[in-house]
Amino acid sequence: VQRRVHGDVTAENRCMAVTDDPLVPGEAVAVAMNDSHPSAATTVVPNRSELNQPRPLTANAKKATCQAVLDIIRKNMLLEWAIFRQRNVWIPTIGFGLLQYVHKMFATLAYMVHEQRPMLKDLGFIVLPALSRDDQYISEVFWGIVFGSMWIFMALNFIGCRHGRTGATSFALMLKRYAIVVGVAACLRSLTFIVTSLPGPNYHCQPDSTSYHQPGGAYDVFLNFNLLEGCGDLVFSSHMMYTISALLMFFKYCRWAIVKVLLTICELCLALLIIAARKHYTVDIVVASYTIPMIFWIYDRYHSDYIPENWLLRAGYAVSGQKLSQIRPKIKPTMTIEVV
């Protein structure tokens, strides 16, 4: 860096000069001249490592940063609420919750009509070694990774993170899409496993199991929510139904390739672990693998994430002909704050 020193420095006038380098504002540079060598000058400057050190934020700057973040979250929540209040958004979302309850009731009914019989022959059971009963939780860990990642990804909309392909997305519209896809899939699944009762391959469904507790009354049908110990609700896998829908949400909205690759690997591991844990037959995995994408793509073909202007006006956005990515407040990756 070239530094210019102000002032006439001679052998008779040794003084303190101040550099105008923007990297070192207001710092004094001592210049000493040798009488025998007037051309030689020694400049004392700070170390380069000291220049690269970030300046600590003052209390006022930290408070301003927090206030700016909270203001962005508040504005995005108002926008999401304005979108969610629309009839074609909140009705599918509430209906999704009701369909999940009906889906649970059908699963309990399938358990009631289930009979303890030896498991069917399955190619996946022949190829993959069985996990012990104590190791079955491993498949649930991978299920939680994929399913939980989707909710974290959707929640990024509240801080205006530019993670979508179009620059911005909406939590409410993403939730609506997921609710419709999983809701339709749950209806198809309930109709499938209730018409044909297959012997459960899991340990507690086998004839010699001592932990087989078959429901026997209306209370279990309507109020028993223990879905992990059920038998008979097989075709197709509910684990794959929730996670494949979540994975397709990433392929629809996410522009981070590494995230999509990692979650795809987790999904493949989950499919193998479900078979190894003897929670489902291989046919349950295969049927879910093409049924869920079919529902997702049909919905995507005929429905788009369109946001009318009146929705935005209700959230306090005076816009005309602008896209959501242009008006959504967001936290930029680099925020410059003036330090006082």
Would you please indicate which residues are annotated as catalytic (active-site) residues? Answer: 239, 280, 284
Q: What is the DSSP letter of 6?
A: -
Q: How do beta strands 16-18 and 28-33 pair?
A: antiparallel
DSSP 8-state assignment for residue 106: H
Under 8 Å between Cβ of 38 and 50: no
Cβ–Cβ < 8 Å for 245, 185: yes
Q: For the beta carbon of residue 3, count every other beta carbon within 10 angstroms.
A: 13
Helix axes 87-112, 59-84, angle to 10 degrees: 80
| Beta pairing partners, 28 | 18
Residue 281 near residue 239 (C-beta atoms within 8 A): no
CB 325 within 8 A of CB 167: yes
Tokens of 65: 């940063």
Q: What are residue 221's DSSP bridge partners?
A: none
Q: How does DSSP assign 265-306, residue by residue?
A: HHHHHHHHHHHHTTSS-HHHHHHHHHHHHHHHHHHHHH----
Please choose, from the candidates 75, 72, 54, 55, the residue with its C-alpha nearest in 3D space to the C-alpha of residue 64.
72
Q: Which two tokens stand for residue 87?
A: 């009839």
Contacts of residue 268, Cβ cutoff 8 Å, sequence gap at least 6: none
